[in-house]
Amino acid sequence: MSAVAERRASRAAALMVIGGLLAIGLFLRLLVLGGALWGDELSTNFVVNGFGVADFPWLLRNSKEATPPLFFVLTWVTKEFGGPEGLRLVSLLAGVAAIPLTYLLGLETVGRRAATVGAALVALSPFQIFYATEARAYELLMLTCLIASYALVRALSSGRTSWWVGYGVASAAAMYTHYAAVFVLAGLFAWAFIAHPEARKPLIVANLAAALVFVPWIPAFVDDTSEQAAKNIEAGFPVTLSNVVNSMIRMWFAGAITRFSELPGSLALTLIAISVAVGTAGLVLRAAGSREWRWPPAGVVLVIVLALASPVGALLHNVVALSIFTPRNLIASWPGFALTLGALVTAGPALLRTASVALLITGFSIGAVKLVEDSHRRPDLAGAASFIEANGEPDSPVVDVPQFSPGPQMAMEAALAPDGDAAPPDRSVFELGTPTLAERLAINRRGKSFDPSVPPVVPEQVALQAARTAGDGTIFVVVPAHAPLDQLRVGSSPLASFLSALPTRFHEVDSRSFAGPSIAGLEFGAEVHVLSGNAGTER
């Protein structure tokens, strides 16, 4: 076979492999794409849909979000696909596109073998799969930084103006997606400035142009730094050695919300650790067989810089400002980490290389398969909502013990809303411990995140309103964790006060559990208790 034919066959084989990884990555992401909105996704839903509070441009400027606008603008377009999936489409497309783009960056930096392994890790990572199905900006942040990295490498190798323009545009887009992009962009600039002194002029020009594009958003950036979201990270994720180590393990090898002892689990982590050890041994053997020590190639240095840029940048940021060191804020460094790990496990002799890659891919595959299990996904609030719709009258009220939400909408309200997200629910939903949804929307209209002058409706009043609405029909009580109703009546919680104040005619006739994750020892599923006001009904 001629050299030309061999190259064509090699390219064809590479296309087949990357096509297969794309198909696997898309399939895994589609398995977990559905389900009700939860957590920070509710903030995205509010910014994009607004619920009549104000129009979209007003919300971009005045919502309590501490994230730049590009993701929300793109999601405002894709919301027309309907439901939570429409809000998650931008993340899905960005996450899938990152698989071949990681491979292309790897070809330019660490070679075909390492590039293939890096793309496979992006496809199989539980962390990547989760955020590719999350209605938040993190996957788009990673993709724009990836595009900037690839465009810079091509600009340096070709000198073509079009690649410099692409690098500048991608850099600006990354900053308009998430402020954490600055760490990777700074790493890219520093690497290119040192490794390619001949290209310093176009490098500086491209970055100045990107900075000028971002200048109009600087006043909003200054305002965002004082938002509650930044303060919440500082309070919940202080920079300690334990938090840093756990965050890095979670981002690199585990999932987004459950313990890494459960996902990917001890077996997967052991296989990955053995793979790294075997890869390191292969690298040492290779170095020992070399007659002279040499600096790593510039491409290898680049992927290491990309892998470390976000973690190191976030740690340095903590010295002068509030902490932003959370796993999701480090996601822009993930492709660099994947390619660095790919370069390590493919560095040794053929036997060690094969063993190391097989162990690594197996470890990540275990995590990917586990992620699709109900206990490692977002709470099945969509299932709870479907159960309520199927078993209650249109006017049957719902009383919910709310799970975490950045507001103003709560997760159960979103699950019961028409089309799954775009409006308040048709039926009465009482959220214990918070003001009504109408009052929460009014608070946001005034530009406030909390207004002590608008207290929540007391549980006893909720009980009277729910009973009046239900008549002799049904009340649905939704709580995060599985527990018997008698146990929930004990204590001084708002739920206990509500249950105690209900008219005695209401009694439990059914209950249903819906799966969810366990986070920091707290259950985040949904238990629906069906209370009937008809004395003739029994369980």
Per-residue pLDDT tens over the stretch 411-430: 999 999 876 566 677 889 99
161 and 47 within one domain: yes
Q: Which of 128, 62, 42 is nearest to 92 (CA)?
A: 128
- Over residues 268-276, mean pLDDT: 97
Q: What CATH code is carried by the domain that includes residue 509?
A: 3.40.50
Between CA 108 and CA 297 the distance in angstroms is 11
Number of H helices, E strands in the chain: 24, 7
| 5: in domain | no
| Lowest pLDDT segment from 32-46, 148-162, 202-216, 225-239 | 225-239
391 and 358 within one domain: no
With beta carbons less than 8 A apart as the criterion, state whether 407 and 444 touch: yes
Q: Coil, strand, or helix at residue 186?
A: helix
pLDDT in tens, 339-380: 999 999 999 999 999 999 999 999 999 999 999 988 889 999
| Lowest pLDDT segment from 454-458, 472-476, 496-500 | 454-458
391 and 348 within one domain: no
Selection from 18-22, 66-70, 237-241, 373-377 with the highest mean pLDDT: 18-22
Is the confidence at residue 286, as pLDDT, over 90? no
396 and 358 within one domain: no
272 and 139 within one domain: yes
Residue 51 confidence (pLDDT)? 80
- Over residues 510-530, mean pLDDT: 89
Is the confidence at residue 195, as pLDDT, over 60? yes
Counting the structural domains of the chain, the total is 2
Q: What percent of the chain shows pLDDT beyond 70?
A: 93
- Over residues 305-324, mean pLDDT: 91
Neighbouring residues of 491: CB distance < 8 A, sequence distance ≥ 6: none
Residue 455 confidence (pLDDT)? 80
Mean pLDDT of the chain: 90
Pairing mode, strands 522-523 and 398-400: unpaired
Is the confidence at residue 3, as pLDDT, over 80? no
369 and 394 within one domain: no
What distance, in Å, lies between the first and last C-alpha atoms of the chain? 77
Residue 526 confidence (pLDDT)? 93
Between CA 11 and CA 287 the distance in angstroms is 29
Residue 292 confidence (pLDDT)? 63
Query: Which among 357, 373, 389 is the end of a domain?
Result: 373
Torsion of CA 467, 469, 475, 480, to 10 degrees: -100
| 537: in domain | no
Between CA 75 and CA 82 the distance in angstroms is 11
- DSSP for residue 422: S
Neighbour order of strands in the sheet with 526-532:
429-431, 398-400, 474-479, 526-532, 507-514
Residue 231 confidence (pLDDT)? 66
| 6: in domain | no
Residue 14 confidence (pLDDT)? 84
298 and 205 within one domain: yes
Residue 191 confidence (pLDDT)? 98
Residue 453 confidence (pLDDT)? 64
Amino acid letter, 22: L
Is the confidence at residue 6, as pLDDT, over 60? yes
Query: Which among 338, 373, 408 is the end of a domain?
Result: 373
Boundaries of domain holding 353: 11-373
- Over residues 518-538, mean pLDDT: 83
- DSSP for residue 346: T
Residue 70 confidence (pLDDT)? 96
Q: Which of 313, 325, 280, 328 is nearest to 40 (CA)?
A: 328
H or E segment and range at residue 285:
helix 266-289
Query: Which among 323, 345, 373 is the end of a domain?
Result: 373
